[in-house]
Each structure stands twice: as C-alpha cells, then as structure tokens.
Amino acid sequence: MARGLKNPKKADRKAKKRANGESSTVPSMPAKIWQPGVDPLEEGEELQCDPSAYDRLHAFHVGWPCLSFDILGDTLGMVRTEFPHTVYCVSGTQAEKASWNSIGIFKLSNISGKRRDLVLGKAGGDGSDMEDSDSNSSDEEEESEENGTPYPPALQIHKIAHQGSVNLIRAMRQSPHICASWGDTGHVQIWDFSNHLNCLAESETGVSTGASNVVSQAPLMKFGGHKTEGFAIDWSPLVPGRLVSGDCDGRIHLWEPSSDATWNVGKPPFDGHDLSVEDLQWSPIYSDIFSSCSVDGTVAVWDIRIGKKPAVSINAHKADVNVISWNGHIFYSQSSYAQVYLIFVNIVPASGIKPGDSSDTVVAHFEYHKRPITSLEWSPYQSSMLAVTSEDNQLTIWDFSLERDEEEEAEFRARMPEQVNSPEDLPPQLLFVHQGQKDMKELHWHAQIPGMIMTTASDGFDILKPSNIDTTIP
C-alpha cells in the first residue's frame, strides 16, 4: 500500500531528541494500512506517503483545475523503460470565469526514478511466470548531488483559449496532434496542435516554464448539432479520424473524416438512451462497433452498419453508469454506488449484429470503493490489470490474474522487518492503492512507458510508477 499513519507532533519531538543526542523511549508503532471510509483519522494524525512504494511519484499543477486530460503518443520510443522519461499531454481547464478557460499542451521532461531491469512476460503457453532474482528491485536512483533527492521534472506548457469550461478532451490515437474537446457551451471542437507540439519538442528539456500566455487559435471544426452539453467522446483506435460524441440528452453523433481537416457528422443521431450519455468506447477489435453507458442505468453496444438503435442493451445497474472500458470482448462498467462490474460480451459481427449474435454475462463484481467511481482503464501491457479512480480520493490498481496464496503470505510476513497490520478483508486482486489528491477525476496509463499512470484532480496532477508493477514487455 502507498500510505501510512503518523503523528506529526510525536515525530517532531523525536527529531529534536535525535538532534540533541537523546534516545527516544517511545516505542515505534507498527505500520498500518489506512482505508478511506473505513478507518477514522485521529486528531493530530496525518497521512504520509511511503516513497518506497513508488519507482517515481511527482505532483504538479498547470493553473486552473483540469478535470480532463489525455496522454499524447510521441516518437521517443514505443516501449520505454529507462529513466529519465518525457511525457506529452493535453488538458482542459475548469476556470472560475468562462473567458479564463484554456486548453493546455504540456511537456513534462527529466522525470527521474528508480532503475529497474526489464522483466519478460509469461514464458510459453503454460501460464508459469519466469522467476527473477533481485534484478527488478534496484534502489538506484538518479539523485541530486546537492540534497539527495530526485531532480524535479521540467514543465513546459502552451495554452490555447477555449470558450467555456472543457468537460472532456481526447487526442486521436493515430495523429495525437488532432484533439477533440467537449465544452459546457454545447459545442464539440476539433483542434490541430501540431505547431505547439513541434515547438515543445524542439525546446530545451532543462527549461521549466510552468505558465505561459494564452493564445487564440481557430479550431479545425466546431459542431453545434448537439442540443445540450456532453461528457462523452471517443476516437476509433482502428479507423483514423472516426469519432463519436454523446450529450446529456442521450444522443450520440458519429463523425466520419472527409479529409485531414473536415468531418461529416451523421444526422439523425444514434438514439437508445433515455438520459445522459456518460461515456463512449470503441471496440478495440471491431472497427464498426462501439459501446455507451448512461445515467439511465444501461450499457449499449452499437453497430454503425445496422441503423441508429442499439444492437445490444444491457440493464447494467439500478443507478447511473458513468464509466466503461473495453478489453477485447470484456469491458468494465461502474455505477454511482461505487459498484464495478466485469461484463463479458460475446459478439459475432460478420455483417452486422443480429438477434442471437451477442450475449452478455456479468463475470465479476466488487465494491471496494466507498464513493462513486470516476474513471477506469485497462493496462495496455497487462490484459488482466485495471486502474480505477474514485470520489473517495483513491487510485486503485487491480490484477485479476491474482489469487490468494496463504503459504506465500505467511512467508512474506515472516520476512518483514516489522509487523504490518494489513486488513484481512482486502481483495487478493488489489495490487496498489494511491492517495493524496482531492476529487480525483481521470486516469490514463502511458501506452509507451509500462507501468506509468497519470491522474488529474481538483488540486492538480500526479504522475506515478508503482514499484510493485513489473516493467514488462509484450
């Protein structure tokens, strides 16, 4: 786990005694895992991060809260495992005044951290893991000679004026400089940020510029066909330029590219939800199929070849369904009651889904989080690994290939230098817990840096790489 408890007043007294050469008679307290919504936080106690749980953890902000962002693909290498790292992102603000909003394109460079050797994935087809000795747990860090701490990353940012708050922003997978933004004005806009990204790529990595002037730029396209604002956009991972956007009236529009800078937006819209469309996700294996989820409690699967009604409609929850994420035929959905469901969808789309061609089954369900879940995403490197953020201010990482092994747990406890009071009811699939941000909204895995995750919240961004997630290659 990533957090512990300490009493700051006692810690100060101990530090003064050590400075004066005195020994403390206060016995050391065993480490304790603190669970939000379960354990109280006593007066004078505060949460403290355990840095050994991370290969790297860095918090930063870019001005106004950015409740939506996307990690941009780059040309620095497809599978990068050696520090220092460089990350490019795009984000949109939720400013106090509508005229103060902007889209930020930023570059975070010189991200240092622990060096760890590459670990090969599972060998052969027998499902057995290749054993590694201590090669993946080196404590070697790139540190500052002055104070023994890692060098802070350099942040460079370009800001483009945006009319109204940015509800959601997403970059095209095949051309990351092309981005789509959903504004609270009810408009979906398409942008070309190639000039800004080229400028950031050519700039010196050691220069840190955390703020910049906001410039004006016209979008490639501005669509006002939605009757109200929305919070759902997704670019197709298989067809460059293909896009779907959903609004709070339950309507979904399909965008088809007609050139590098223009799109034809289909009318009438796809119609199958009674209330707001909360999320949209294209299938990663079928180019004509996407899914949606809604406040009406349903998850729908659509085939764009057979009309504007859902091919499959699943009554997933009794409450809102706010987030979905595909993993082949399997995707997760979650409700406003913090319940997460793994749903298996069997689709046989030879020439379009027909009755009997599909089925859905709930194959897993967990209720670890105590507040609604705000984001979830499968790992691009481990097909069984899922990351989740929640309004209980936790990021959790789950590995559904894990099972409880009592003998292994006993051996681990025997090797520990101090007692760890781990709750007995923690699910064995729970791999990692990260806390420290307020009102966590979105998370994204970095598709080119195995194990690296970025999150956004009302108080800024965190970028982290847990130390218990192996740096694997496919």
> By C-alpha distance, which of 107, 182, 180 is closest to 463?
107
One digit per residue, the tens of pLDDT, for the chain of length 474 reads 333 334 444 444 444 444 444 444 444 555 566 666 667 777 877 777 888 899 999 999 999 999 999 999 999 999 999 999 999 999 999 999 999 999 999 999 999 998 776 655 543 334 334 334 343 444 444 444 344 556 789 999 999 999 999 999 999 999 999 999 999 999 999 999 999 999 999 987 666 665 668 999 999 999 999 999 999 999 999 999 999 999 999 999 999 999 988 999 998 999 999 999 999 999 998 899 999 999 998 889 999 998 899 988 888 767 788 888 988 777 666 665 666 777 776 665 555 555 444 455 666 677 788 888 899 999 999 888 999 999 989 999 999 888 776 777 677 667 665 555 566 667 888 999 999 999 999 999 999 999 999 999 999 999 999 998 876 555
Q: Which of 405, 338, 395, 418 is nearest to 370 (CA)?
A: 338
Rg (CA), the chain: 23
**Coil, strand or helix: which one is 369?**
coil
Domain layout of the chain by residue ranges = 1-13+30-48
Q: Which pLDDT does position 351 carry in this prediction? A: 56
pLDDT at residue 139, rounded to an integer: 43
Q: Looking at residue 199, what is its pLDDT?
A: 96
Cβ-Cβ contacts under 8 Å for 20 (sequence gap 6 or more): none
- The secondary structure of 78-147 as a DSSP string is SS--SSSEEEEEEEE---SSGGG-EEEEEEEEEE--B----EE---TTS-PPPP--STT----B---TTT
What pTM was estimated for this model as a whole? 0.83
pLDDT at 367: 78
Report the length, in residues, of the chain: 474
- Which pLDDT belongs to residue 95? 96
